[in-house]
Amino acid sequence: DVVMTQSPLSLPVTLGQPASMSCRSSQSLVHSDGNTYVNWYQQRPGQSPRRLIFSVSKRDSGVPDRISGSGSGTDFTLKISRVEAEDVGVYYCMQATHWPPWTFGQGTKVEIK
């Protein structure tokens, strides 16, 4: 199975400042169809996961453009250009390229300093 490794695991941020988190996979996530199926999810306390980004960099409906995804191959990044209070939560990367199974990273916990 593909191992997804996130860093950092904890990310204290200042409101209005940028934040960035990384996700690395144990093998290339380029599918034979040419797509790279890497998603990012936000999970606020007490809530279900909400997908923010799919296929590395495509924003889901309703996701603000201050949130962006990038990367290729085995290295992927989620960036928040200006952190707001509503961004507090745990962020997970997930791969759906080499499936089954889907595999998730351990999560990066974003909190306000």
Partner 1 sequence: EVQLVESGGGVVQPGGSLRLSCAASGFIFSNFGMNWVRQAPGKGLEWLSYISSSSSTIYYEDSVKGRFTISRDNAKSSLYLQMNSLRAEDTAVYYCASPQRGITSYWGQGTLVTVSS
Residues in contact with partner 1 by the rule CB under 8 A: 35, 37, 39, 41, 48-51, 54-55, 58, 60, 92, 94, 96, 100-107
Nearer to partner 1, 32 or 48 (CB): 48
CB of residue 15 vs partner 1: minimum separation in angstroms?
A: 26
**Closest CB to partner 1 among residues 10, 14:** 10
Beta bridge partners of 80: 19, 67
Tokens of 101: 């199974």
User: What is the smallest separation between the CB atom of 33 and partner 1, expressed in angstroms?
Assistant: 10
| Residue 58 CB, nearest approach to partner 1 (Å) | 8
User: Shortest Cβ distance from residue 19 to partner 1 (Å)?
Assistant: 19
